[in-house]
Structure 1
Amino acid sequence: MLVRDFIDDSLYNPQYGFYSKNNTSALSEYEEMEQEEDQIQYLRRVVKSRGRVHHHHIHQLRYTLTELFKPWYGHAIAKYMVSEYKLSLYPHKDLIIYEMGGGNGRLMPHILDYIKRYEPSVYKRTQYNMIELSERVVSPSFMGNMPQHDCVQVLNENIFDWNTLVSEQCFFLGMEVINHFAHDVIRYDLDQLKPHQGYVCVDEKRNYHEVFEPIGTDSTISRYLALRKKIGSKPHHTQHMLWHKIQRFFKPSSSNLTQPEYIPTKLFQFMEILNTYFPRHRLVLTDFNSLSNTVPGVNAPLVQTAYKGLMVPCPTYLLPPGWYDIVFPVNFDMLRDMYLLTCRGSTAGNEKNAKIVQYNDFLDRYGDVEKSRTKKGTPLSLMHQSNVKVFLT
């Protein structure tokens, strides 16, 4: 199967996918702590005990920013949406929110709690829709939050199967979601510089291997490469062609293909869905623009598996499905250009209403960082993540 289908199956297969399993136990010790000071000290102990994990990459411990910095992270998102909503829609239109990949509903209560407390008139006009492909979203722990907010609707549907037109203006949220979107792998042959698309095959011993063939059989890969060409982005192999030729000269038996390049084809499909079914959306995405311990290749992912509460890096994604997580860094410049051409029909880089903001700057403006202190008065300095960005439209 194509690489993106293999990754998708590994992560989301309802029987054995990594995200179809119950992953809440890893958070139990953290969530039982009542005082924020205890939470911060706990995280510091975990980092110290596994010294190779730097605090700037604490997401490798499998905690999301939502869970680490509750409720301030959700409050910042809510404050941004309310301020933008009031500029053009309030009080004549509802505040309609769609959240993709809401997991166990950990972000939603913080957003709605903020609106209900500080913007009660806006809260009366708020609709919150959670799009979640996993059955875990309707777990008892999630349902316990539901009576507090009657404006919530759970849509247990895969966003890539979405076929309902939403004509109203709305905010569409994706918090640490798109870095889990599957990618395809392409490599270029050194003779004719033609791209080849990757497949994953399994042998009789159940070992996984990559094979490549010229592109053309998959329309998504072809459309993405055509869009990238329209953007004017040069394929990565052209920047290192001399190195490839030198390597082949000294090692004639080496591969006739360039190093693997991971291309965001599922993210491209998501943009097409936004354009088709959510034509009046405002997008809010946060994710990591760089990762450590990635596998070899261009725009390559971090592959990791859970071991004694720690996410341990793996050298390849060619592993038995369901036993590992796979996380891709997000190229936000490419994301912006792809978004503008797909969803706005404008020339890449010419629209000011698609912004890339440093996560730290977003928090400084909307996050009330000064209020987000532990019970002993210590600032939550861990909230600042230098390798996280926010995409706003």
Structure 2
Amino acid sequence: MLVRDFIEDSLYNPHYGYFPKQATIFTARDPIKFHTMHDSVHFQEEVASRYELFERDEDGPGRQIWHTPTELFKPWYGRAIAQCLISEYLLKYFPYEDFVIYEIGAGNGTLARDILDYVKDEYPEVYDRTRYNIIEISGNMAKLQKELLCDAHPCVNITHRSIFQWNTKEPAPCFFVAMEVIDNFAHDMIRYDLRTLEPYQGLVTIDSNGDFSTYYTRVTDPLVSSFLALRRRLGHPPPISRLLKMSTTLRTIYTSLPLAPNLSAPEFIPTRLLSLLRTLREYFPRHRLLLSDFSSLPDAIPGVCAPVVQTRIKGTSVACETLLVKQGYFDIFFPTDFNKLRDMYEHILEEPASLLSFPDSRVSPLSTSISPLSAGAGFFSSYRPANRRSPVDGMASASGLPVGERRSGVFTHSEFMETYANLEKTQLKNGENPLLEFYKNVKFLF
């Protein structure tokens, strides 16, 4: 099978996959009282103590536990996310449109609860117009989310389905939230023939003894082909030495050397991420994406943009050196190049689906017909700011003019939190703030 199919089987198979059967999210029973912590060392000791207690409570063979910033910094992390969404909603859509949120991979539901609690307490007039939709692939997680959320917040709707199987069109403006999700999206593995620079797709095989191996064939998978074509259009070069790309003679000499490889180092390409971006364009034409994940990772296996493959044994995380491990007992998670992700995302949205393909769409007060928007983007002006997308005919901005939505930006974790979080609530006695100083290898796209 393709490498991405092997990864998806390892992580999401309903009978033995890592997430349905082994994974447990660390959940602190009570929020950490940051103002009582002396410094970051004291904070880390507190986290380690709670983690050890939780792991002891969840004892069992193969049990895998990990934490998220949502749980470590609750409710303040969730409130920062809520403030980000609320700010955009009030600026662009209130009071003409409902406050519609879609979240994928919502875990235990803690982030959704913290967002909704904040909206209910601070913006009750917005809460009355809130619709919170969770798309969850794990049946166990969906059950936990229903227990936590549905009674407290009737505006929550939970759909047990993979986002890659989504087929319902949302015509209204909405916010699409994906926090710590895309790192577990399956990637494909490719290598380049160093003589011809032709890409080869990687496949995983298993023999009668249960041993794994890999081999490579010419690219035939449509999703791999489509990703490579998109990368060429964006001008993102393959990870091959510039000298080798420039000279056929140098490639011939290099590959003729003793013990020289005939293929480049493995490269992991985010094909499932491409599927998500296409789903957003097709089924959520008026969405605003808020996404956060790892931009770099230590202890990755060999390769370009390679994942970390790890498991926990007796409370200790153990990293592996290969992807070919027993399915279900190992987490497989990837870093994301956020600048390349932004380029992919904006390029795909530059070719939005026509409104004519959405028969269930309805007229919005912000999509007025008083201006001849059908005349196209150039009706009012030929000038378009570089930070704006091409306008879509029939969709006006908050100003009522077809100026195009603002392009997404990339922010570090600390930059995002400095903008939207209430930092006083997570400040320690000595002035340190773990909400800013932790997760240095995490970025946001918004």
- Alignment gaps of 5+ in structure 2: 52-63, 353-383, 389-405
* CA drift at 1:129: 0.3
Q: Could you state the TM-score of these two structures normalised by the residue count of structure 2?
A: 0.78
Q: In the alignment, what sits opposite 2:341? A: 335
Offset, 1:46 = 8.9
Distance 1:33 1:121, change over 3 A: closer
Query: What is residue 443 of structure 2 aligned with on the other side?
Result: 389
d(CA) in 2 for partners of 1:22, 1:300: 23
Q: Give matches, 1:279-290, under 5 Å.
A: 279-290=285-296
1:39/1:155 CA distance change after superposition, 3 Å: farther
Which of 393, 410, 413 is the equivalent residue of 1:359? Answer: 413
Partner of 2:275: 269
Q: Does 1:302 align with 2:302?
A: no
SS in 1 for 2:240: helix
- The equivalent of 1:100 in structure 2 is 104
Point out where structure 1 has 5 or more consecutive residues left out of the alignment: 48-59
CA contact (8 A) 2:292 2:445 kept: yes
Identify the residue that residue 204 of structure 2 maps to in structure 1: 200
Residues 1:235 and 1:144: Cα distance change in structure 2 (over 3 Å): closer
Which residue is equivalent to 2:88? 84
Counterpart pick for 1:241 among 229, 240, 244: 244
Q: Which aligned pairs between 1:52-91 and structure 2 lie closer than 5 A?
A: 62-91=66-95
Give the conservation status (yes or no) of the 8 Å contact 2:204–2:213. yes
In the superposition, the TM-score normalised over structure 1's length comes to 0.88
Shift of 1:310: 2.9
Amino acid at match of 1:204: S
Distance change in 2, residues 1:141/1:150 (3 Å): closer
Is 1:251 paired with 2:263?
no
State the alpha-carbon separation in 1 of the partners of residues 33 and 425 from structure 2.
Answer: 15
Per the TM alignment, residue 139 of structure 1 is displaced from its structure 2 partner at its CA by 3.1
Per-residue deviation at 1:27? Answer: 2.6
Cα distance change on mapping 1:206 and 1:154 into 2, 3 Å: same
CA separation in 2, counterparts of 1:70 and 1:33?
A: 6
Q: Which amino acid aligns with 2:171?
A: S
Instruction: Please state whether the residue corresponding to 1:341 is helix, strand or coil.
Output: helix
Superposed displacement of residue 289, structure 1: 0.4
1:179-229 deviation line (CA, Å, top 9, x unaligned)? 1110000001111110000000012221111110011x2100111100000
Q: Distance in 2 between matches of 1:34 and 1:65?
A: 12
Offset at residue 286 of structure 1 (A): 0.4
Aligned-partner Cα distance in 2 for 1:370–1:226: 47
Answer whether contact 1:61 1:310 (CA < 8 A) is retained.
no
- The alpha carbon displacement at 1:323 in A equals 1.1
1: CA distance, partners of 2:104 / 2:430: 34
Instruction: Name the CA shift for 1:260/1:141 in 2 (closer, same or farther; >3 Å).
Output: closer
Q: Distance in 2 between matches of 1:301 and 1:245?
A: 31
Pairs aligned (count):
375
Letter in 2 for 1:368: N
Deviation sequence 1:336-379 (CA, Å, 0-9, x none)? 111011123399x86452110111011011011122246x7875
Cα distance in structure 1, aligned partners of 2:351 and 2:251: 36
1:3 aligns with 2:6: no
SS of the residue 2:424 aligns to: coil
Write the letter of the residue equivalent to 2:266.
P
Change (3 A) 1:387 1:61: farther
Supply the AA of the counterpart residue of 1:266: R
Distance 1:164 1:97 in 2: 15
1:56 is aligned to none
Q: Aligned to 2:426, what secondary structure does the other structure show?
A: coil
Contact 2:31-2:73 within 8 A present in 1 as well: no
Instruction: Note if contact 1:22-1:136 (Cα within 8 Å) is conserved in structure 2.
Output: no
2:23 corresponds to which residue?
23
Query: Following the alignment from structure 1 to structure 2, what is the Cα–Cα distance between the partners of residues 353 and 81?
Result: 16
Q: Is the 8 A contact 2:82 2:118 kept in 1?
A: yes
The CA deviation at 1:245 is 6.9
Cα deviations across residues 229-264 of structure 1 (Å, max 9, x unaligned)?
000111111447389877644434x43111000000
Within the candidate set 144, 148, 159, 1:144 is matched to: 148
> What does residue 210 of structure 1 align with?
214
Q: 139-148 or 126-135, which moves further after superposition? A: 139-148
C-alpha separation between the residues in 2 aligned to 1:272 and 1:34? Answer: 39
Does the 8 A contact of 1:303 with 1:327 survive in 2? yes
Who is 2:183 aligned against?
Answer: 179
Shift of 1:22: 4.8
Which amino acid in 1 is paired with 2:425?
K
Amino acid across the alignment from 2:29:
E
Aligned residue number for residue 222 of structure 1: 225
Q: Contact (CA 8 Å) 1:103, 1:137: kept in 2 or not?
A: yes
CA contact (8 A) 1:244 1:258 kept: no
Change (3 A) 1:302 1:247: farther
State the structure with more CA Rg: 2
Distance 2:425 2:340 in 1: 35
Deviations for 1:47-92, whole angstroms, at most 9, x for unmatched residues?
Answer: 9xxxxxxxxxxxx972111111111110011001001001111011
